[in-house]
């Protein structure tokens, strides 16, 4: 069998194992559950508010937005933090020692993070659709749209998380980039229609995949008349596909290059030095 295919198959198996391990780890489960529980609480308090200019529930409009925005945020930050932590503890160095090990490692992380993102999405949507009225989760149109928006959106965000994670060799430095990512979520129309923002801020939001993933999930789960409050008064499916596919292609080209360069710099001495610094901070 082709060595690259063998590495990808090993990565798929590794990803499946890590998903199962995460589901049995209370701390990991809480990390995935807590944000969704917080979003559900926000939806509960928004259930009586309406989208400006309509009588449609703002909570119902926010639920699919949070679904898309939450998956984008989780894909970016979880991949970024995982790579940084496992770079410090030597996991990446061990992967580097195996032929095509970095490819298998990356495939495994993509499977793990994507799998847990989908589980988190189910935790959010099922009870959320009971809290607010107007979300359409049972139509063929909804499922067909989600079938291409969600995978494409994850592939647009996961490589970016890997790229950001390769920049830092200390998990405690992640906060440097977390704040800009949170700001980007806030300006991407996730919690409030982006058309209410200044025009320059709308352009900033549209430049990144978080906005387009949120728009795609809204188009799948909201009535067509809600497109009137979006930019251009439509769901922009063609633009959504193009932007998400473009980011996915860019990430899939750049991420392996960045990861290979990072792996070449890894050595037993560098891992030992980081562990020693970490121990000094603890003591």
Interatomic CA distance for residues 52 and 60, integer angstroms: 13
CA distance 268 to 93: 8
Q: What is the pLDDT of residue 208?
A: 92
What pLDDT is attached to residue 273? Answer: 59
Give residue 1's pLDDT. 60
Q: Please state the domain count of the chain.
A: 1
- Rounded to an integer, what distance in angstroms lies between the CA atom of residue 63 and that of residue 255? 31
* Structure-token pair, residue 159: 């490589």
State residue 15's pLDDT score. 83
Domain that holds residue 91: 3-282
Nearby residues of 52 by Cβ (< 8 Å), 6 or more positions away: 193, 196, 229
pLDDT along the chain (283 residues), means of 10: 77 84 80 76 78 78 85 84 76 72 80 83 79 73 88 90 79 73 85 86 92 92 85 90 94 82 67 57 53
pLDDT at 169: 67
**Environment class of residue 237 by beta-carbon count within 10 Å: exposed (0-12), middle (13-18) or buried (19+)?**
middle
Specify the pTM. 0.84
pLDDT of residue 244: 95
Measured CA to CA, the distance from residue 186 to residue 183 in angstroms comes to 5
Q: What is the pLDDT of residue 237?
A: 92
**What pLDDT is stored for residue 81 in this prediction?**
82
């Amino acid at each position: 069998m082709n060595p690259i295919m063998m590495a990808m198959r090993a990565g798929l198996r590794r990803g499946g194992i890590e998903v199962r391990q995460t589901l049995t780890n209370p701390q990991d489960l809480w990390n995935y559950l807590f944000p969704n529980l917080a979003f559900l609480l926000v939806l509960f308090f928004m259930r009586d508010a309406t989208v400006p200019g309509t009588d449609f529930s703002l909570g119902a409009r926010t639920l699919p937005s949070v679904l898309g925005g939450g998956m984008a945020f989780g894909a970016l930050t979880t991949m970024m933090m995982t790579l940084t932590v496992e770079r410090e503890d030597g996991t990446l160095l061990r992967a580097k020692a195996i032929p095509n090990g970095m490819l298998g490692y990356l495939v495994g992380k993509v499977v793990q993070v994507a799998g847990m993102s989908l589980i988190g999405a189910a935790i959010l949507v099922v009870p959320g659709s009971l809290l607010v009225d107007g979300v359409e989760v049972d139509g063929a149109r909804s499922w067909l749209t989600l079938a291409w928006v969600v995978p494409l959106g994850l592939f647009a965000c996961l490589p970016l998380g890997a790229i950001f994670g390769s920049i830092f060799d200390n998990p405690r430095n992640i906060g440097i980039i977390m704040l800009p990512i949170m700001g980007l979520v806030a300006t991407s129309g996730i919690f409030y229609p982006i058309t209410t923002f200044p025009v320059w801020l709308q352009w900033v939001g549209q430049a990144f995949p978080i906005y387009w993933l949120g728009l795609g999930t809204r188009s799948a789960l909201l009535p067509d008349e809600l497109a009137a409050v979006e930019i251009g008064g439509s769901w922009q499916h063609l633009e959504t596909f193009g932007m998400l596919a473009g980011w996915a292609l860019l990430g899939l080209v750049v991420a392996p290059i960045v990861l290979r360069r990072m792996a070449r710099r890894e050595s037993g001495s560098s891992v030992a030095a980081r562990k020693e610094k970490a121990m000094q901070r603890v003591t």
